[in-house]
Amino acid sequence: MNSASPRPAPRAVVEIELAGEILELRADHSVYWPAKRTLFVADTHFGKAGVFRRQGLGVPRGTTDTDLERLGAALNETGAERLIILGDFVHAPPAADAPWLARFAAWRERFAGVEMIVTRGNHDRADRLPIDCDIGWHAGSLFEAPFVLRHEPEADPRGAVLAGHIHPVVRLGDGSESLRAPVFWRHADGLMLPAFCSFAGGGRVSPREGDRVFVVGEGEVVEAMTPDRRTRAQ
């Protein structure tokens, strides 16, 4: 008889409590705050593939369309009335004729009833797009009790920080039987979101004792044991 503790069942949405509020961690890399009907994503990096192609690099096409479809699905599924992007909304300031802008404008029109806010990240080097879109741009952190919303994950005495920037991943397994997986990282200062962009690398993070790590993949969110709980998330 196997006496090992059962692994948690995989789910497309996992609820956690942070600063007394319930947040839903979603398999599409977004976070939903039901009490405020607000959806959070980080690091959409719209236009990134086009930037790479202009540099002569062979990268896949269609990533913007794929990400807009995922984002629209998340808004529809949650019924969110607000979308807050935690920085790096774009990868670089787009030219007025950038092909993805027209597709984004059409997408924004479909979700015109959703308030959209961007807390500017290091890649957001302008405070508007070269097209007419209803987006509120916010420099620095945005405080909405009990959360501090910002791009870079720095501790803030006002409250728990929701941030991105790092594109957090962990390594699961050892040796040849290992992989790098994107994660939500619940740490002492708040919550770090994985990159929403489907064409993004990742920065490996090192969870500490008491942290919680939620691996995202194949349409599921699964809590991985942290080192103090004898896991292989490293």
Q: What is the DSSP string of 51-75?
A: HHHHTT----S-HHHHHHHHHHHHH
**31-61 burial, b if ≥16 CB within 10 A, otherwise e?**
bbbeeeebbbbbbbbbbbbbbeeeeeeeeee
User: Does the pLDDT value for residue 2 go beyond 50?
Assistant: no
Q: Does residue 127 lie in a domain region?
A: yes
User: Does the pLDDT value for residue 233 go beyond 50?
Assistant: no
Distance separating alpha carbons of residues 171 and 65, to the nearest angstrom: 29
Cβ atoms < 10 Å from Cβ of 97: 8
Do β-strands 160-163 and 13-18 pair in parallel, antiparallel, or remain unpaired? unpaired
Q: Does residue 122 lie in a domain region?
A: yes
> How far separated are the first and last CA of the chain, in Å rounded?
29
Mean per-residue pLDDT, 176-181: 74
Q: Are 197 and 228 contacting, i.e. CB atoms less than 8 angstroms apart? A: no
Q: Does residue 110 lie in a domain region?
A: yes
Q: What is the mean pLDDT of the chain?
A: 85
Q: Give me the pLDDT at residue 232, please.
A: 38
Mean per-residue pLDDT, 33-42: 98
- Ranges 24-33, 120-129, 150-159, 174-183: which has the least confidence: 174-183
Mean per-residue pLDDT, 177-189: 89
Q: Give me the pLDDT at residue 171, please.
A: 85
User: Does the pLDDT value for residue 229 go beyond 70?
Assistant: no
Q: Does residue 234 lie in a domain region?
A: no
Q: Does residue 89 lie in a domain region?
A: yes
Spatial CB neighbours of 56, under 8 Å, sequence gap ≥ 6: none
Q: Can you give the residue range of the structural domain that contains 115?
A: 13-229
Q: Give me the pLDDT at residue 77, please.
A: 97
At 63-76, the pLDDT tens digits run 788 999 999 999 99
As a whole-number percent, the residues of the chain with pLDDT over 90 amount to 62
Q: Are 86 and 42 contacting, i.e. CB atoms less than 8 angstroms apart? A: yes
At 79-95, the pLDDT tens digits run 999 999 999 998 667 77
Q: Give me the pLDDT at residue 55, please.
A: 53
Q: Does residue 208 lie in a domain region?
A: yes
Mean per-residue pLDDT, 163-187: 86
Kindly list the distances between the CA atom of residue 36 and the CA atoms of 1, 14, 81, 105, 164, in Å, as whole numbers in the listed order: 47, 18, 8, 25, 20
- The CATH number assigned to the domain holding 46 equals 3.60.21
Give the DSSP H/E element, type plus range, for residue 220: strand 220-224
Q: Does residue 148 lie in a domain region?
A: yes
Crossing angle for the helix pair 63-78 and 99-110, to the nearest 10 degrees: 10
At 117-143, the pLDDT tens digits run 999 998 787 777 878 889 999 998 999
Q: Give me the pLDDT at residue 3, please.
A: 44
Kindly list the distances between the CA atom of residue 195 and the CA atoms of 15, 69, 74, 86, 87, in Å, as whole numbers in the listed order: 19, 16, 15, 10, 10
* Helices and strands (H and E) in the chain: how many: 3, 16
Q: Does residue 150 lie in a domain region?
A: yes
User: From the centroid of its chain, how far is CA 34?
Assistant: 17
Q: Give me the pLDDT at residue 56, please.
A: 53
User: Does the pLDDT value for residue 200 go beyond 80?
Assistant: no
Higher pLDDT, 97 or 83: 83
Angle at 228 between CA 213 and CA 23, to 5 degrees: 25
Q: State the total domains in the chain.
A: 1
User: From the centroid of its chain, how far is CA 161?
Assistant: 13
Q: Give me the pLDDT at residue 179, please.
A: 79
Quickly state the pLDDT bin for 196 (edges 50, 70, 90). Answer: very high
